[in-house]
Amino acid sequence: MFPTHKSAHMLDLVITRSNDHIIHDIHPLDPLISDHRAILCSAPLNKPDPIQKAIQYCPLFKISPSVFIDDLFHTDLVSIRSDNQLDLTWQYDLTLTSLLDKHTPKKTKTISECTHANWHTSELGKQKSALRKLERKSNQSKLAIDADIYKTASDEYNKLLYETKVAHYNGLIAEAANNQGTLFPLVDKLLHRTSSSPLPSYDSTTDLANQFAEFFNDKIEKIYTHLSTPSPTDAPNISSPASTFPEPSPRSTLLSFTKITPQALQKFINKSPIKSCSLDPIPASLF
């Protein structure tokens, strides 16, 4: 037992079950950032093995878009199209899938599941490695000069860490300033805000689809009933001989569409988020 406060008026405990003997080599450590010492202990616990899984991927970076498009124009999808919608869908899927396999066949590899911070840089890694060396040296020598050097390096590392995070997220916000579809999810992620699912409770996907169908059927029936039954305030007073039905207001007619330019269409497509699923014959990020 030893005091953990620099004024020696406070004790900390490491509590385990009475029949467990997994904790040993308990000793204090002055982290130089507080008036309270840290408690270190050893426990013979093995680090869990990383979770590994096999994945299939296509090295899309090896695809040349110009060559891919040129091969696409020489397929039956462009020259010989089916008039049947179902046959055309199958032709679309098979042509693009075979063309993707030709340019970049699928590969399989085993990976370990782990997460990496997007803001982490190689400079931070080098600074952290140097900081750990100074920490070990300070713990071994017990000299005040080594402790001061370690504290100074720790402050510099924390400052660099903060500046790196700020620069990273400021850059992301600046890039998404004109795109609310990207900006709002980014802000929610930074603030750790999670939205609840808007879907109703359901037992299966079939049940959910039926609920959607019933909802829209009921909505259409209510709108139809409301439109076919005039309200009392809208009905004319037929008891008065001078009463007449109001003349219908002139209706706007749509006679033609303004053609969209390729530049405007490309602008809308570039602003939309890139989304794909496993059922797509080629990923949307390819182009």
Question: pLDDT value at position 216?
Answer: 92
- Report the alpha-carbon distance of residue 135 to residue 32 in Å, rounded: 11
Q: What is the pLDDT of residues 127-160, one digit of tens each?
A: 999 999 999 999 899 898 998 999 999 999 999 9
Residues 119 and 165 sit within 8 Å (Cβ to Cβ): yes
Q: What is the pLDDT of residues 172-203, one digit of tens each?
A: 999 888 888 888 888 888 888 877 777 888 88
Angle value at C-alpha 159, between 158 and 165, nearest 5 degrees? 90
CA 203 to chain centre: 26
Q: Is residue 93 part of a domain?
A: yes
* Ramachandran sector of residue 60 (left: φ over 0; alpha: ψ -120 to 50; beta: rest): alpha
Mean pLDDT of the chain: 82
CA 132 to chain centre: 33
What's the helix, strand, coil split of the chain in %, to 5?
Answer: 45, 10, 45
Kindly state whether residues 43 and 57 are assigned to the same domain.
no
- Does the structure show a pLDDT above 80 at 4? no
Average pLDDT over every residue of 217-235: 74
Residues 287 and 65 sit within 8 Å (Cβ to Cβ): yes
Which structural domain, as residue segments, surrounds residue 100? Answer: 52-112
Residues 13 and 3 sit within 8 Å (Cβ to Cβ): no
Percent of the chain's residues with pLDDT above 70: 87
Question: pLDDT value at position 156?
Answer: 93
Q: Is residue 240 part of a domain?
A: no
Question: pLDDT value at position 228?
Answer: 67
> Which string of b and e fits 77-101 if b means at least 16 CB within 10 Å?
beeeeeeeeeeeeebeeebbeebbe
pLDDT range class, residue 33, cuts 50, 70, 90: low
Q: Is residue 243 part of a domain?
A: no
Question: pLDDT value at position 29?
Answer: 77
Q: Is residue 231 part of a domain?
A: no
Kindly state whether residues 70 and 88 are assigned to the same domain.
yes
Q: What is the pLDDT of residues 115-130, one digit of tens each?
A: 667 888 889 989 999 9
Question: pLDDT value at position 152?
Answer: 92
Q: Is residue 215 part of a domain?
A: no
Q: Is residue 122 part of a domain?
A: yes
List, as one string, the DSSP characters of 6-50.
TTS---------TT----EEEEEE--SSSSB-EEEEE---PPPPP
Q: What is the pLDDT of residues 235-248, one digit of tens each?
A: 555 455 444 555 66
- Report the alpha-carbon distance of residue 36 to residue 66 in Å, rounded: 64
DSSP 252: P
**At 243, is the secondary structure helix, strand, or coil?**
coil
